Amino acid sequence: MSQNLRTSIEENLAKLTDLLKNSEIVVLRLNHRPRDFRVTTHTCLTARALGANGVIIADTEAKEIMEKINSLNTAWGGGFWVRDSVAAERVINAWRSLGGVIINLSMYGEDLRNVLSELYFLRHVRRKPFLVMVGSSKVPAKMYTLADYNISITNQPHSEVAALAIFLDKIHGGNWPRYTEGTVRMNPSLKGKGGISITGTVGSDEET
């Protein structure tokens, strides 16, 4: 790791603290590599669509992904955020100091169905914020001990994006957000293909 990246990681953690304090669910993306661009982007899209406040891409730079998601937010709405170049263990320590719960999604973890009621109680009754770790390449063994819960969606090989989607859907009880403040709207259709509306000014829609 270069000295410039080390300095950036320290600075970014300080800037991130306020975001963490005001977040209920944050996804921590571990071990992102340049070749993971598409999957990490889909991780961010899934997190946003299903109710996470933001994604932290740990220990590396991912400016292109950040720019892509920021552009999407402008069009589709919402205050979702993405940050990079922050040390994973520092994020975990900061989250724990704020009273949050750390969850590692892994096929080696306990079946979600066995602990869902406990997690639901923590999130919706005790109002505990969740940091959800999602790995890319092999996750270091230490992360399993740092997590409060190691959770599996299935013990069969599967995509981390699928695991995140199912976890967020279950923890929200299916009540994930409906974004309404963007300039782009989806017009769904039960039969046949729907369309997209782009709102230029209040009260006017342009079909694309």
Q: Report residue 33 as tokens.
A: 């590599």
DSSP state of 202: T
Report the pLDDT value the prediction gives residue 18, as an integer from 0 to 100: 85
Nearest Cα neighbor of 103 from 130, 138, 82, 123 is 130
Distance of CA 55 to the CA centre of its chain: 4
Mean pLDDT of the chain: 88
Report the pLDDT value the prediction gives residue 206, as an integer from 0 to 100: 38
Going along the chain from its start, the domains and CATH numbers come out as 3-177 (3.40.1280.10), 182-208 (no CATH)
Report the pLDDT value the prediction gives residue 40, as an integer from 0 to 100: 96
Q: Per-residue pLDDT for 169 more than 80?
A: yes
Look up the pTM and report it. 0.88
Confidence of residue 11 (pLDDT cuts 50, 70, 90): low
Q: Give me the mean pLDDT over the 99-119 stretch.
A: 97
Q: What is the pLDDT of residues 30-82, one digit of tens each?
A: 989 889 999 999 999 999 999 999 999 999 999 999 999 999 988 998 889 99
